[in-house]
């Protein structure tokens, strides 16, 4: 391990452990013995003075950050996916990790790599400080990189104190009601190849005790397609199952969105999500759309940033705020948004699924369902979830209990165990900052 005052390199190795050209050389680590100091990240100061009770709690300073890139193939397809695992180590032997699912994109990984350079020597428990400084220093980017770092720091804190993240957040429940969120179908292909196929799957989910179901249809931009599927599902499951529809910005015009929205009204849908081609980015347009329909709208999935989402909401752009913990600043950003909405009497929904999402939802009063997605009838695999868990964690229909709920992981931190052998077997490279 590098000691205080030493000089280190950022090295990148492939699976054969062959050195590659360093991407950044001679990163000088500030002296860890200083009780107060400023470490500069893109000219923005991150103060590392202890903020606790006069030093009674030992600081855990970050002294190594590892970004491991890996590849995997889902069991039911030949498609290859590339994701990454972030691990943050401290000088007192602690470690926190996070392997993003939906948010594990190449640009998120690039952001994490850039941000990591300024975190060496920082107190790992000063998550709020890290969040604010990274938000400012990387204000030209979205928040996906911050999300991964923030979540790994929360995992580290939970492990330090031996409690789940949900407990650190003040969580009040151990089981979360789910809704089955389908993949998009293709006409004539597979279990979701027709309106009746969607109805069959909804009925199957209902029989398994799942209380709600969201349709992602063919995304062909045709209101009739949406309405035919919506109608078939409602007729099949009756009134006892809550139904939602997400055209995923595929409808081609405002009036198409109105047409589908009025069908939601007639069929008693629980919410109407991201209807048309503005990609849910115009608060004015969605405020107008809300004037035409009665069904609550779930918008803001594609709006990034705390202030931006708050502005969109206060401008009347949505009835329910959609928050993605992997894209909206991690656990810290998610809880800020949830509390903001709670203060103005608005509910939130968390986008997609994962261990982080479960811990957040356990501590959020103003939310209804955990999104079990994306799932389909002809495969047990959630297409958004990497197969990297060694402890049975999963977000498939088969993981839902008879009560229609999934558990909040109860181990320290995120409470999950990553399958190191599987990740290592698919390793494409490893980046370390010291």
Residue 227 banded pLDDT, cuts 50, 70, 90:
very high
State the average pLDDT over residues 220-245: 98
State the average pLDDT over residues 204-229: 98
Architecture of domain 7-162+419-433: 2-Layer Sandwich (3.30)
Residue 277 in tokens:
């081609």
- Cα 88 to Cα 344: distance, rounded to the nearest angstrom: 36
Yes or no: say if 213 and 202 are a contact pair by the CB < 8 Å rule.
Answer: yes
pLDDT tens digit string along 266-298?
Answer: 999 999 999 999 999 999 999 999 999 999 999
CA distance to 327, 385, 431, per residue, from 102 (Å): 9, 7, 21
Q: Is the pLDDT of residue 378 over 80?
A: yes
- Cα 147 to Cα 103: distance, rounded to the nearest angstrom: 9
Residue 7 banded pLDDT, cuts 50, 70, 90:
very low
Same fold, 7-162+419-433 and 167-407: no
Position 359 scores a pLDDT of 99
- Cα 377 to Cα 182: distance, rounded to the nearest angstrom: 9
Mean pLDDT over each residue of the chain, to the nearest integer: 89
Residue 58 banded pLDDT, cuts 50, 70, 90:
confident
Yes or no: say if 341 and 318 are a contact pair by the CB < 8 Å rule.
Answer: no
Q: Could you tell me the pTM of the whole model? A: 0.87
Closest CA to 61 of 115, 7, 122, 8: 122
State the average pLDDT over residues 19-37: 34
Domain boundaries, the chain: 7-162+419-433, 167-407
Position 78 scores a pLDDT of 76
Q: Is the pLDDT of residue 46 over 60?
A: no
Q: Is the pLDDT of residue 372 over 60?
A: yes
Position 57 scores a pLDDT of 60
Position 320 scores a pLDDT of 99
State the average pLDDT over residues 112-133: 97
Closest CA to 395 of 361, 358, 359, 362: 358
Residue 79 banded pLDDT, cuts 50, 70, 90:
confident
State the average pLDDT over residues 166-194: 97
Helices then strands, counting H and E runs in the chain, come out as 12, 17
Residue 153 in tokens:
């720091």
Q: Is the pLDDT of residue 231 over 80?
A: yes
- High-pLDDT (> 70) share of the chain, %: 86
Q: Is the pLDDT of residue 204 over 50?
A: yes
- Cα 235 to Cα 253: distance, rounded to the nearest angstrom: 27
Residue 198 main-chain phi, psi, to 5 deg: -65, -40
Helix (H, G, I), strand (E, B) or coil at 268: coil
- High-pLDDT (> 90) share of the chain, %: 82
CA distance to 104, 119, 182, per residue, from 150 (Å): 14, 12, 29
The alpha-helical segments, DSSP class H, found in 81-238 are: 106-116, 127-137, 144-161, 165-168, 195-207, 223-237
Pairing mode, if any, of strands 62-73 and 347-350?
A: unpaired
Closest CA to 414 of 432, 383, 431, 391: 391
Residue 190 banded pLDDT, cuts 50, 70, 90:
confident
Closest CA to 254 of 288, 228, 297, 283: 288
Helix (H, G, I), strand (E, B) or coil at 334: helix
Q: Which helix (H) or strand (E) holds 374?
A: strand 370-375
pLDDT tens digit string along 387-426?
Answer: 999 999 999 999 999 999 999 999 999 999 999 999 999 9
CATH 3.20.20.120 fits 167-407, yes or no: yes
Residue 316 banded pLDDT, cuts 50, 70, 90:
very high
Which position has the token pair 């708050």? 310
Q: Is the pLDDT of residue 300 over 50?
A: yes
**CA angle, residues 270, 272, 274, in degrees to nearest 5:** 150
- Cα 325 to Cα 350: distance, rounded to the nearest angstrom: 7
Position 76 scores a pLDDT of 65
């Amino acid at each position: 391990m590098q000691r205080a005052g030493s000089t280190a390199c950022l090295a990148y190795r492939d699976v054969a452990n062959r050195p590659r050209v360093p991407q950044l050389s001679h990163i000088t680590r500030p002296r860890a013995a200083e009780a107060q100091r400023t470490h500069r990240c893109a000219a923005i100061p991150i103060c590392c003075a202890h903020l606790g009770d006069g030093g009674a709690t030992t600081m855990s300073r970050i002294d190594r950050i590892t970004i491991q890139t890996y590849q995997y193939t889902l069991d039911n397809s030949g498609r290859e996916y590339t994701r990454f695992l972030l691990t943050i180590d401290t000088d007192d032997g602690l470690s926190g990790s996070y392997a993003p699912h939906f948010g594990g994109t190449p640009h998120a990984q690039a952001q994490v790599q850039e941000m990591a350079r300024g975190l060496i020597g920082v107190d790992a428990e000063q998550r709020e400080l890290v969040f604010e400084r990274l938000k400012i220093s990387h204000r030209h980017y979205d928040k996906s990189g911050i999300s991964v770092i923030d979540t790994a720091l929360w995992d580290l804190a939970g492990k330090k104190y031996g409690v789940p993240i949900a407990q650190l957040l003040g969580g009040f429940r151990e089981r979360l009601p789910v809704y089955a969120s389908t993949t998009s179908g293709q006409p004539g292909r597979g279990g979701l190849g027709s309106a009746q196929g969607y109805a069959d799957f909804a009925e199957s989910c209902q029989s398994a005790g799942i209380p709600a179901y969201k349709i992602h249809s063919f995304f062909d931009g045709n209101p009739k397609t949406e309405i035919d599927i919506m109608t078939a599902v409602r007729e099949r499951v009756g009134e006892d199952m809550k139904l939602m529809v997400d055209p995923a910005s595929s409808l081609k015009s405002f009036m198409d969105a109105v047409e589908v929205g009025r069908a939601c009204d007639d069929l008693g849908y629980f919410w109407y999500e991201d209807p048309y081609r503005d990609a849910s980015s115009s608060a004015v347009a969605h405020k107008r759309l809300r004037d035409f329909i009665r069904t609550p709208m779930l918008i803001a999935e594609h709006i990034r940033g705390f202030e931006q989402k708050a502005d969109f909401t206060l401008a009347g752009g949505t009835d329910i705020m959609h928050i993605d913990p992997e894209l909206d600043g991690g656990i810290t950003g998610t809880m800020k948004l949830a509390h903001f909405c709670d203060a103005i009497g608005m509910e939130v929904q968390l986008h997609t699924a994962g261990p982080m999402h479960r811990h957040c939802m356990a501590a959020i009063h103003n939310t209804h369902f955990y999104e079990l997605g994306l799932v389909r009838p002809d495969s047990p695999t959630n297409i958004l979830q990497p197969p990297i868990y060694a402890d049975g964690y999963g977000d498939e229909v088969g993981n839902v209990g008879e009560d229609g709920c999934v558990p909040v992981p109860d181990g320290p931190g995120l409470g999950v165990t990553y399958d190191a052998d599987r990740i290592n077997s698919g390793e494409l490279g490893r980046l370390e900052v010291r």
